[in-house]
Amino acid sequence: MANVVLIVLIIINLKILYFLFIAMPNWINIIISTVFTIFGWILCVISSLLKKLRHKRTPEEVIRYRLSVAKNYEEWTQLAKELDVLLGNDEWKSNSISPYYDYNLIQYKLDHFRQVRENNDFLSMIYMLRSGLLRNLGGLNDPRLFSQSYLGTKKLIEDYTKEVITQLEYIGEQDFSEIPKLSKMEFFNDTRQSFGSTALVLYGGTSFGLYHLGVVKALNENGLLPRIISGTAIGALIAALVCIRTDEELPRIFEPGGINLGAFGKVGSKGNIRRKISRFLKHGYLMDIKVLEECVLSNVGDLTFEEAYAKTKRILNITVSPTRKFEIPQLLNYLTAPNVLISSAACASVAIMGLYDSYDLMAKDKTGRIVPWAPSEIKWKKWTDAVPTESESPLTRITELFNVNHFIVSQANAAVVPFLSREQTTRASILVKCGHFISTEYRHRIAQLEQMRLLPRMFRGMVDEKVSGNVTIVLSISFADFKTLFSNPTHSSLDYWVLKGEQSTWPLLALIRNRCLIELALDRIYLKLKSSPPAERSYALYPTTKEKNNGRKRTKSVH
């Protein structure tokens, strides 16, 4: 019944939109159709709730619910296995045929790889890996291939990925008289550069942004945390916490007391709302930047971007938005702003939200003294200002600097999350398709209002085209969560949001793993070869850059 209601709703909505486009002026039909779109989204939610209330839960629905409230990944994995068995997903995985990828190409590549390995023809291995290694070869990493089964995907795809990694490890570990070590390093470096890198992007979130910690925890525990991490607003604080810590130190921040919240404890909760309202009316912002600064300094210290990179080899990127376009870089990292203090960059990134007052960027001079980075005061854009164009986007700059072609986006923006599709983690049922249709319609109408300058300034922060990535981890929130939107963090709320982040990430781990396993293997093998004792001069496995460019120096990866 609920599905019938949803289909009728879509038809009515389309007819209304058609009538409005013909009979009404443009600005009126945009406003009215936006209202109908939001109304339709609300009806979808209500119909879904009614369906749950009227029908007794099936075994599948019971396990799905238990999945949504699992407390750890081991429990979630066990339930996912039970659900796959119940739904017969193992049979689907063993059948390689699917319209979403070129299974004939993948089978051919796999057979060829296996034949070369059986013949121990390592030169052919190197040739094949160097010339045809793509992250999404034949569409094998299409998200739809990972929405059927809760654990993994087609067996053919998993076998292909394992075979590639096996051959990469074989080449890296074996000593070949025909292939000196430097030639192997050159092969892995070039292949790594060609394959591309992954970046984790943590978007905004006010108090919801604490959920990014759960995303980082889930990825790190499964060996899938990228070295390149970017953060905006609250996401910048979380990225800073992560990137100043080594692999051995990182798990400690998830332990009780691992993050120092003493600065917020000093303020107290008594009169909290009254203080915020008074501060907003007097100064135009809700939160006290001094409290945030104390918290950030107690957890991050006075490390610069360059010092953090030298310590951890993680590449931290923090987005800031000055009003003058070419005053300072919009993306701060160890290349663009090596001497800037990470703590000041994180506070400056949060200041653009309108929750905190503006904050000056600080840096270390050549003697180690902390001084203002810019000669004059930097004015930051307000959160209501228009978002940057695609050419100005921080993600574009990350791509240019660090050879990134794959983004994992953790989205916690309260204005965006309710309208993002979860098709990557859910079967494409009529309800999912309906939700996706309405959410994209809503975002399109909001963008149109902004282009016509009819959108009020207070809603301009909702216009952000770069809200998703190749893999998008979307926070699952309830109406009760909005009560804590502007509250100060506590250790109990921290634990709550970390678990929320983990629960949002677990369903996507299979997709992320398959997209990143080859990249991680290339990184691991290359860094291992690089850290071993120096070797003799290399002999070319294939035409070298020097031969191609008549003696010009080859371009090296900066990371």
The angle subtended at Cα 377 by Cα 375 and Cα 383, nearest 5°, is: 140
**Would you state the torsion angle of the CA atoms of residues 220, 224, 225, 227, taken in this order, to the nearest 10 degrees?**
140
- Name 171's bridge partners: none
> Considering only CA atoms, which of 7, 29, 9, 8 is closest in space to residue 18?
29
Q: Which residue matches tokens 């200041």?
A: 351
216 close to 259: Cβ distance less than 8 angstroms? no
Provide the b/e sequence for 199-236 (b: ≥16 CB within 10 Å).
bbbbbbbbbbbbbbbbbbbbbebeebbbbbbbbbbbbb
- d(C-alpha 209, C-alpha 484), whole Å: 11
Q: Which residue matches tokens 């059986």?
A: 118
Position 81 scores a pLDDT of 93
- d(C-alpha 52, C-alpha 62), whole Å: 11
339 close to 363: Cβ distance less than 8 angstroms? yes
> Considering only CA atoms, which of 279, 219, 281 is closest in space to residue 251?
219
What are all long-range contacts of 72-81, with beta carbons under 8 Å and residues at least 24 apart?
Answer: 72/502, 73/218, 73/221, 73/222, 73/502, 73/506, 76/503, 76/506, 77/151, 80/150, 80/151, 81/150, 81/151
- d(C-alpha 69, C-alpha 75), whole Å: 10
- d(C-alpha 273, C-alpha 479), whole Å: 19
The angle subtended at Cα 43 by Cα 39 and Cα 45, nearest 5°, is: 120
Q: Supply 250's token pair.
A: 């990182």
- d(C-alpha 489, C-alpha 210), whole Å: 8
Q: What DSSP letter does each residue of 242-278 carry, written as one string?
A: HHTS-TTTGGGGGSTT-S--HHHHHH-STTHHHHHHH
> Considering only CA atoms, which of 141, 140, 121, 119 is closest in space to residue 129?
121
What are the boundaries of each domain within the chain? Answer: 1-50, 69-193, 199-385+393-415+464-507
Q: What DSSP letter does each residue of 363-416 carry, written as one string?
A: EE-TTS-EEESSSSPPPBPPTTSPPPPGGG-HHHHHHHHH-EEEEEEEE--TTT
**Would you state the torsion angle of the CA atoms of residues 235, 195, 514, 226, taken in this order, to the nearest 10 degrees?**
-30
H/E run at residue 474:
strand 471-474
User: Beta strand pairing status for 315-319 and 362-364?
Assistant: unpaired
- d(C-alpha 380, C-alpha 391), whole Å: 20
DSSP letter (8 states) at residue 62 = H
452 close to 29: Cβ distance less than 8 angstroms? no
Handedness of CA 6, 466, 202, 509 (dihedral sign): positive
Q: Supply 72's token pair.
A: 């750890």
Radius of gyration of the chain (CA): 26
Position 22 scores a pLDDT of 47
Handedness of CA 244, 247, 253, 258 (dihedral sign): negative
**Would you state the torsion angle of the CA atoms of residues 464, 100, 152, 90, taken in this order, to the nearest 10 degrees?**
140
Position 110 scores a pLDDT of 95
Q: Which residue matches tokens 């992560």?
A: 242
- d(C-alpha 6, C-alpha 209), whole Å: 32
pLDDT in tens for each of the 559 residues of the chain?
Answer: 445 444 544 555 554 554 444 444 455 555 655 565 566 667 666 666 666 665 567 888 888 889 888 999 999 999 999 999 999 999 999 999 999 999 999 999 999 999 999 998 888 999 999 888 899 999 999 988 998 898 889 999 999 999 999 999 999 988 887 788 888 899 999 999 999 999 999 987 667 778 899 999 999 999 999 999 999 888 889 999 999 999 999 999 998 888 887 766 665 554 455 555 555 545 445 555 567 777 888 888 889 999 999 999 999 999 887 655 555 678 899 999 999 999 989 888 877 555 555 677 889 998 889 998 875 555 555 444 444 444 457 788 899 999 999 999 998 876 666 656 555 555 555 555 666 666 666 667 767 776 777 666 555 555 554 566 889 898 877 766 666 666 667 778 788 889 999 999 999 999 999 999 999 999 999 988 888 776 554 445 554 444 444 444 444 555 5
Position 356 scores a pLDDT of 56
Exposed (0-12), middle (13-18) or buried (19+): which is 283, by Cβ within 10 Å? exposed
Q: Which residue spans within 110-153 are E strands per DSSP?
A: none
Position 188 scores a pLDDT of 93
- d(C-alpha 23, C-alpha 32), whole Å: 12
Output phi, psi for 191, to 5 deg: -65, -40
